[in-house]
Chains A and B, each alone.
Chain A
Amino acid sequence: MEIIHSFFTAWGGLAIAILGGAIAAALCCAGSARGCGTAGEAGTGLLSEDPSQFGKVMIIQVIPGTQGLYGFVIWFVVIAKLALLGGSPLQPTIEQGLQLACACLPMAIAGGISAPAQGRVAAGTVNLLAKKPNDWFKGIMLCAVVEFYAILGLLASFLMISSINIG
């Protein structure tokens, strides 16, 4: 018990903080991969009929990819805060580590769930592009509506992380 306690007080804060950043990056990237997958699947269907639409299909496919980027941003902010990449990381207390990990949650959850949802809208946009090529941009705008909530998640996480002091 003593050993566990001393271990956690010595190293636990840093690990928990890293766990938070890792979850944000992992869930967001996984969600984005699913979203891009759905959109890309619909895209190949259209391309098999009309390969000249490749440029637009690619734009549509990368739209659900932004959540992964946002998750990566949060991960980066966390490890920059911990000075992890410099080789001599800071040693946050367990409380601070937990605070950082909790602050990562809005991004992790909002990103991981919104990306597949956005992927479905993007797949619908591919259909729109196939049937009404002139109106495809309206589909993009519908995708942007889903994007907004990932942005809010990013902001919530970012503002919390940047106001936590580690010393």
Chain B
Amino acid sequence: MAIVKMKRLRLLAIRDQRDELLRELMLLGCVEVSEPPTDGTDETFARLTAADGSELLRSRANQTTLMNAVKLLDRYAPAKSKLMQPPPETTLQVLLDDSGLQEDLELAEKIHSLDERIRRISADESREHLFIESLSPWRDLALPLECKGTQTAAAILGAVPAATDTAALDAAAASVTDMAQLFTVSEDKEQKYLLLVCRKEERDDVLSALRPLNFSTASVGDNCTGTAKENIAAAGERIAQMEEEKKSIEAQIAAEAGHRDELKLRIDTYSTVIARAEAASRLMCTDSTFYCEGWVPEEDEKRLTETLSKYACAWETEEVEREDEAAPIKLKNNPVTRPFTMVTEMYNLPSYNGIDPNPWLMPTFSLFFGIMFADLGYGLILLIGGLLLKFKFKAKGGLGYMGGMAIPVGISCMIFGLITGTFFGDIIPQVQGFFTGVDPDSVKIFSLIDPLKDPMTVLIICLGIGVVHLLLGVAISGYMQIRDGHPMDALWDSGSIFLLFIGIALMALKVTPIVLIISIVVLIYAQGRGAASIGGKIGSGLYGLYSVVTGWFGDILSYSRLMALMLAGTVVAKVFNSLGAMTGNIVAFIVIFLLGHALNIGLNLIGTFVHTSRLEYLEFFGKWYREGGRKFQPLAINTKYYNIAKN
């Protein structure tokens, strides 16, 4: 529930033990190796050499090869994946055992070269298709393609635009000589394909007479022998052969599908190799030693000491100031608040001198989500989904966080569903009406408040919740100022706001207006206390008062979205229910119910998530949050496909 205290680590060790040591550190998973201080100002460091990065590059390339091979396997032999399965488990020994890596790489290379062959064949194939296409206008020409004429006569193939009149062509040819003849071989939408026969010595004259009519000679099937028809048939056969060959190669790739899981395991193995190589590339070396700088959480220092004392090395850890911006951020949370790290990370991690927002996000995020998504049935779906994700599918990463969030959020939705008396909108009265014929509006459902009949009350409650949420933010801000040794600032900045609200409350309860007046004076002083002169103090104080009042006005009104989204979800749900009931047919009722509510849930989930986040980010975080931290990324085992079995 806090930002973990970090210590700076400096480590000197024997170079021969480097790989072993890095392996141990990776298993510990609590040391971040940072970039070496190589700004060139320190002469001692300048003499050290950075570690060779070639292994890192090689490992990355190898991992990419494996990944591509898995992709190819998925393409040629799609895995029958069941929806949402927990990832398979493996042990550390298997994961870190790199003895079979070379074989698997060779397998991946083989899959690659097979795929390469398929691609080459496909290229050849499309060339054959083009060839067929170029010959197909001449399919009906009985003349072999290599025949360019007889001893005295020339045979010329050519084309004219489809609109050209053949009679005009004949006339143009006849104007030169009567020893020329045009035959139409075929025509399509664009062109007419012609054979021109004339005497060899008159060839150029005839062609120049035809040119004004857009006659152009065509070179067809160069180097081909036989008629177009024969060539097309031959090409068709070649294509069939290629298809055959492609199929057999595809079968060869698919035959390797049994190795898919093995390849996936190796991708994970390479992830660990890459992690170590990345750390190694940040080390500074001499011929026999290396130097490592990094970070270690204070709580893990003992474990680190135990490990390091087994090696011939020297190390020290150093406490860092709270203001040190270089320190990475690790948030420590319990299983309930941890999933909300997702919301925090989507915004920005807190700075090292800030505060972990997760403990505050957990209750408020659930509360707002519950208000906007208020429905007993919808909440139940969220809760079940969350439980399934977390315990059945053991989802990792973002999906795991979502599952963890869905549990408290779902419970909250159910509570507000009970309060507003909604279960899939108004499905209970609608079903009762459907079967008994009573008016659904007359059926009484337990509810504390009906948001559709009494939206004003809901609105006021929502705005009230907003005020409490914002004041919580102000309180945290005040706490941070006191913690950092500025109690007077806390009193003026946060205290004045609280005084203002006490004043407003007393005024509203008709007790006394005096506190409000005092609080406004205090607020003006608090806002203007930074200015130098008296005039400046008054000026900036008044301006500060103005911006505080307008800012708070806008912030509080922003919480009206709680009511808006709550009502919108209910309205759409109710309309689908009554649409379904109106059909008078039980099957149609069920279909409309399922489709309508699936749509409503999908839409509202996104909308509610966005607007809950917005209230947290803009209104709440705006009051106190110090952001800008860098995530703590220790050298550790991060796998994509496999979970590590515990012992």
List the interface of chain A (C-beta within 8 A of B). Answer: 66, 69-70, 73, 76-77, 80, 85, 140-141, 144-145, 147-148, 151-152, 154-155, 158-159, 162
Contacts and interface: CB of A to CB of B under 8 A. Distances in A.
Given A73-B571, A85-B582, A155 B564 contact: yes
Contacts of A155: 564, 567-568, 571
Nearest to B613: A141
B112 interface: no
Given A151-B564, A152-B564, A154-B568, A159 B607 contact: no
A98 B567 CA distance: 25
Given A148-B561, A155-B567, A76 B575 contact: yes
A140 B572 contact: no
A80 B581 CA distance: 12
Interface of B: 452, 455, 561, 564-565, 567-568, 571-572, 575, 578-579, 582, 599, 603, 606-607, 609-611, 613
A45 B611 CA distance: 31
B564 A141 contact: no
A105 to B, nearest CB: 17
A85 B583 CA distance: 11
20 contacts: A66-B603, A70-B572, A73-B571, A76-B579, A80-B578, A141-B606, A144-B606, A144-B607, A144-B611, A147-B607, A148-B564, A148-B610, A151-B564, A151-B568, A154-B568, A155-B568, A158-B567, A158-B571, A159-B567, A162-B452
Given A66-B603, A76-B579, A155-B564, A145 B571 contact: no
B609 A151 contact: no
B571 A148 contact: no
A80 B606 CA distance: 29
A145 B575 contact: no
A69 B596 CA distance: 10
B564 A140 contact: no
A37 to B, nearest CB: 20
A151 B455 CA distance: 15
Contacts of A152: 564
Contacts of B452: 162
A69 B572 contact: yes
Nearest to A159: B455
Label chain B's interface by main secondary structure: helix
Nearest to B579: A76
Contacts of B561: 148
Contacts of A69: 572, 599
Contact of B610 (A66, A73, A145, A159): A145
Nearest to B576: A73
A148 B607 contact: yes
A85 B611 CA distance: 37
B605 to A, nearest CB: 10
B578 A140 contact: no
A107 to B, nearest CB: 11
A158 B603 CA distance: 18
Contact of A73 (B572, B582, B609, B613): B572
Contacts of A159: 455, 567
A148 B455 CA distance: 18
Given A76-B575, A148-B611, 6 more contacts: A73-B575, A140-B606, A147-B607, A151-B607, A155-B571, A159-B567
A147 B455 CA distance: 21
Contacts of B565: 151
B517 to A, nearest CB: 37
A148 B603 CA distance: 11
A44 B409 CA distance: 36
Nearest to B604: A151
A140 B452 CA distance: 29
Nearest to A147: B607
Given A69-B572, A73-B571, A141 B609 contact: yes
A73 B571 CA distance: 8
Nearest 8 CB-CB pairs, A to B?
Answer: A144-B610, A151-B568, A73-B575, A141-B610, A144-B607, A144-B606, A158-B571, A155-B567
B613 to A, nearest CB: 8
Nearest to B455: A159
A80 B609 CA distance: 32
A162 B603 CA distance: 23
Nearest to A141: B610
Contacts of B571: 73, 154-155, 158
B459 to A, nearest CB: 11
Most buried by B among A66, A70, A145, A158: A158
Nearest to A85: B582
Most buried by B among A140, A141, A159: A141
A76 B564 CA distance: 20
A76 to B, nearest CB: 6
Contacts of B564: 148, 151-152, 155
A49 to B, nearest CB: 16
Contacts of B575: 73, 76-77
A155 B562 CA distance: 13
Contacts of B455: 159
B433 to A, nearest CB: 13
Contacts of B599: 69
A36 B572 CA distance: 20
Contacts of A76: 575, 578-579
A80 B565 CA distance: 23
A104 to B, nearest CB: 14
A155 B578 CA distance: 18
Most buried by A among B564, B568, B579, B609: B568
B72 to A, nearest CB: 14
Contacts of A80: 578
Most buried by A among B455, B607, B613: B607
Nearest to A156: B564
A38 B607 CA distance: 21
Contacts of A85: 582
Nearest to A77: B575
Nearest to B607: A144
A77 B567 CA distance: 15
A73 B425 CA distance: 14
A85 B582 CA distance: 9
